[in-house]
Amino acid sequence: RAKDMGRNRFCFYTEDMNGKAMAKLDLEAALSRAIERDELLLHYQPKVDAHSGETVAAEALLRWNRAGVGLVSPGEFIPLAEHSSLILAIGAWVIDTACRQIRTWMDAGLPVVPIAVNVAARQFAAGDLDGVVGRALEQHRVPARCLELELTEGMLISNPQAGTQMLQRLRDLGVKVSLDDFGTGYSSLAYLQQFPIDALKIDQSFVRRIGAQPDGEALVDAVIGLAHRLRLRVVAEGVETPTQRDHLRRQGCDEMQGYHFGRPDAPEALQRRLAAEADLVTAY
């Protein structure tokens, strides 16, 4: 009996593994067709000025409207795409689509803020990011200052010399660069001073500690101080409560992003928000 049970369990286990492997293959096959099937879309989340509360930028966040499944979040498919060159096609699609969106807003005479797009490690390492960005800006006739790239520390530190050169080329194009999820990767303070970047984004795991644990503010306070000392802007991610907002504001954080100010949403939602804010200014 015990032997049977053991065998049954073993069978169950392998079937489960096969199921998982199959699901992964399915996911990969479906994802590889997502672009041609027009299943990818961008949501936009506002970044607000910490002092005025005005929307000063937005981050484009990728979504996959998978046939028969619904909206899939990037945490579920970006890591998979990163295992193959698929991430290059997806990454280029994101940059192109953000630029096309900016052009649409400009043509309609709507208020436009800089749009930040996330860049994957492999996309950065491929060495042609400046080419991809430059071509998208040119094709859609979008000023470089309207586009920002969010990179992570890891991609720069794995090859600091090539990373610095790419950052310089991006800077020459005129696009801004921020370090995303700052504090969670292989931070190297020595390199931080060497990289030509514009802003640090404090990861939400640090923001969550504000007012929630003893000395929970220590890290955010230190990062804000460090960034300003290096003449970098600081953006706090994942701001969800008035307590977090007030603390960050008191510490001189420059911009904030999080559910407290607005969730990622369809482009029309950002458009309405910017139009409403512009109306407030003219009415005043």
Token pair for 107: 């043509």
Q: How far apart are CA 219 and CA 239, in angstroms?
A: 15
Q: Note whether 74 binds ligand C2E by CB under 6 A.
A: yes
Closest CA to 44 of 269, 204, 235, 260: 269
Kindly give the interhelix angle for 86-107 and 2-32, rounded to the nearest 10 degrees. Answer: 50
Longest CA–CA span in the chain (Å) reads 81
Closest CA to 262 of 253, 254, 250, 270: 270
Partner whose footprint covers residue 264, from ligand C2E, Mg ion, none (CB < 5 to 8 Å by kind): ligand C2E
Q: Note whether 55 binds Mg ion by CB under 5 A.
A: no
Span interacting with Mg ion, options 94-102, 144-152, 244-252, 259-267, rule CB under 5 A: 144-152
Q: Note whether 181 binds Mg ion by CB under 5 A.
A: yes
157 to 176: interface string for Mg ion, x by CB under 5 A: --------------------
Indicate which single residue of 120, 129, 175, 210 sits in contact with ligand C2E (rule: CB under 6 A): 120
Q: Note whether 151 binds ligand C2E by CB under 6 A.
A: no
Q: How far apart are CA 125 and CA 162, in angstroms?
A: 8
Instruction: State how far the alpha carbon of 240 is from the alpha carbons of 68, 85, 244, in Å.
Output: 32, 35, 7
Partner whose footprint covers residue 75, from ligand C2E, Mg ion, none (CB < 5 to 8 Å by kind): ligand C2E
Closer residue to ligand C2E, CB minimum distance, 107 or 152: 152
Indicate which single residue of 27, 30, 94, 234 sits in contact with ligand C2E (rule: CB under 6 A): 94
**Rg of the chain over CA atoms, in angstroms?**
21
Binders of ligand C2E among 186-215, rule CB under 6 A?
204
Residue 40 CA, chain-centre distance (Å), reads 16
Q: What residues make contact with Mg ion under the rule CB under 5 A?
A: 118, 150, 180-181, 237
Q: What residues make contact with ligand C2E under the rule CB under 6 A?
A: 45, 61-62, 73-75, 78, 91, 94, 117-120, 150, 180-181, 204, 237-240, 257-259, 264
